[in-house]
Structure 1
Amino acid sequence: MLEAVRLVQPENDVSLKSDGEKISLVIGLGIGTTPAALATHGIDTTVVEIDPEVVNLAKEHFHIPEKKLDIIVEDAEVFVNKALETNETKLYDYVVHDVFTGGVEPSALFTREFMQQLAQLLKEDGVIAINYAGDLKLPPAGLVVRTVLSVFPSCRIFREGEASEAQDSDLTNLMIFCKRSPSPVQFREATEEDYLGSVSRKSYLQPEFEIDAGFFAASNSGVEIVTEDNTEDLSMWHSQSAANHWKIMRTVLPADVWESW
């Protein structure tokens, strides 16, 4: 669904550009689904990934395209700091923030300060898509959402699937789409060209299950947002979040597979 950043409509016709005229920055590679799609659509895409093994695996097993895609192995904080220190900072049409791994998130990349830096890397009509994977019934989800909303003036929040009230936990992928400008976040309808011939992409590309920001307004932890001074308020939940995540992951494949791995 992060690819839906392309579907966010510009504020006016003056901002209309073809994909070939746009550039994007992706923080976190994973298996490369989102950056590969952006590049395939003709968008010059820069990916920043801290782990060289992730890059090697993505290239070897998931057919990462070489055209329109530049992968930089570096800490995202270092990359962003260097980008903002240059005299002619490159500004992006799209920024995608997708750094979840192993059931936890790197807290430093979810602080207000880091989000403010990413906002500075966006063009005036630029859009950012942020993925947070976790339990929406635990405090970290609210911390992350409130932090993002404290930086970007216009946002919409979506979950991957429908919520189930019967469960004690609510693990899902949460996607937050925001603009640097205060104009409303509105999506155009996806077309066949957007799906790139993929049946699965057709099922998930269009954002569907929206959550009102008010759901995250109350802070059960007593902390409103994440800053560089209080990242421990986010990281203190890592053990529980990771345990919940891997409990679900063990249902995806048989136990023998995980034990062998």
Structure 2
Amino acid sequence: MLYRNKSEQHELTVYETGKLYEEKGHFRVLQFSDEAVQGVMDLEEPSRIVLEYPRAMLHLMERNNPDYNCVFLVGHGIGTLSSHLSDRQIKVAELDEEVVEISQHFFGYDGPSVFVGDGRALLEREKNGIYDYIVIDAFTAKGTPEQFTNSSFFNVVKQKLHTGGAVMLNVFGRSGNDYLVNAIFTTLSKAFPYTRAFALPAEPNEIQNRILVGSLHPIDAQVKQMAGFIEQFLEEGYIIHGAVDA
């Protein structure tokens, strides 16, 4: 154990371990509430992206727009995606200032500046039609905040993306028929004509990592490059209405 504290947003823990998800090595981990791993550094190879979902997201970005440049990222963690995209025009929003400090002190983050504040509010101030990708990787103890999963937010996202852009969400839910994940995906599907869902294989009712993608154009993916993520076909759920469009 290297660090533990309860900030205004999360219970924050930093620790080192010799085994992570059946892989042996020397890892440093940032964990939020309920043992939710938010970032991992391989101390023997710090530049390696350990977790599967950022690798899958980066593949989807490259596959669907090799010339992409402008990215808005909500949720900083240890700075994995921010660091990898440091040669692009990236704007990073993080609600918890302590998370940013931890990324710098314990994980050596020295990438693009991070704007501390509400990610939705910061995105709403951006110019319309400029982003290639908007990535939502934000979590609380209850999961992805509803302000990033409702129909009013997805309408904001469509305004900020250019015509070839896409939005990606990293969400958690139980494998199989998770009602909230179904609702998020259905709400996304009402906003974007093209949507796809990908997940890591999991046992029944096990907590599962999913990537949801919405775009104005068909979404391509090469299975071998998806870091173990496979496509899922989710059942239709309810529409999540925000305060603006309730």
TM (norm. structure 2) is 0.68
SS across alignment from 1:156? strand
Q: 1:5 to 1:38 in 2, by over 3 A?
A: farther
Residues 224-258 of structure 1 show CA distances to partners (whole Å, capped at 9, x for unaligned) of 11111499xxxxxxxxxxxxxxxxxxxxxxxxxxx
Asked if structure 2 preserves the Cα contact closer than 8 Å seen for 1:27 and 1:47, the reply is: yes
Distance 2:223 2:179 in 1: 33
1:158 alignment partner in structure 2: 198
Match of 2:93 in 1: 48
- 2:160 aligns with 121
Name the residue aligned to 2:232.
211
CA distance in 2 between counterparts of 1:117 and 1:52 reads 25
Change (3 A) 1:110 1:189: closer
Q: How does 1:74-153 map to 2 (within 5 A)?
A: 74-83=117-126, 88-89=127-128, 91-136=130-175, 137-153=177-193
Query: What are structure 2's unaligned runs of at least 5 residues?
Result: 1-55
> Stretches of 4+ moved more than 6 A in 1?
none
Q: Which residue of 2 aligns with 1:226?
A: 240
Unaligned 5+ runs, structure 1: 11-15, 191-203, 232-261
Assess, with a 3 A threshold, how the Cα gap between structure 1 residues 157 and 25 changes in structure 2: closer, same or farther. same
C-alpha contact (below 8 Å) 1:2/1:34 kept by paired residues: no
Which secondary structure state, in structure 1, belongs to the residue aligned with residue 188 of structure 2? helix
Opposite residue 70 of structure 2, the aligned amino acid is I
Q: How far 1:92 moved relative to its partner?
A: 0.9
Aligned counterparts of 1:156 and 1:119: Cα–Cα separation in 2: 16
Distance in 2 separating the partners of 1:230 and 1:92? 23
Q: 1:4 to 1:128 in 2, by over 3 A?
A: farther
Q: CA deviation at 1:27?
A: 0.8
- Please say if 1:185 is aligned against 2:219: yes
Cα distance change on mapping 1:142 and 1:106 into 2, 3 Å: same
The total of aligned residue pairs comes to 189
Write the distance in 2 (CA, Å) between the matches of 1:140 and 1:128: 18
* Shift in Å, 1:9: 2.2
The TM-score, its normalising length taken from structure 1, stands at 0.65
- Residue identity opposite 1:46 in structure 2: K
Is the radius of gyration larger for structure 1 or structure 2?
1
Q: Which residue of 1 aligns with 2:80?
A: 33
2:228 and 2:128 map into 1 onto residues whose CA distance is: 31
Q: Structure 2: how far apart are the matches of 1:225 and 1:28?
A: 24
Deviation string for 1:192-219 (max 9, x for gaps)?
xxxxxxxxxxxx754631102xx321x4
Q: Deviations over 1:77-135 (max 9, x none)?
A: 2212222xxxx546111111111233422112211101110121111111221111122
Tell whether 2:229 aligns with 1:174: no
Offset from partner CA, 1:3-59 (integer Å, 9 cap, x none)? 23323324xxxxx63x5xx111101112221222222xx212110111101111112
Distance 2:169 2:228 in 1: 13
Larger RCO (alpha carbons 8 Å, 6+ apart): 1
Contact 2:201 2:229 in 1 (8 A): no
Q: Percent identity?
A: 21
Counterpart-to-counterpart distance in 2, 1:27 and 1:89: 17
CA shift for structure 1 position 2: 2.4
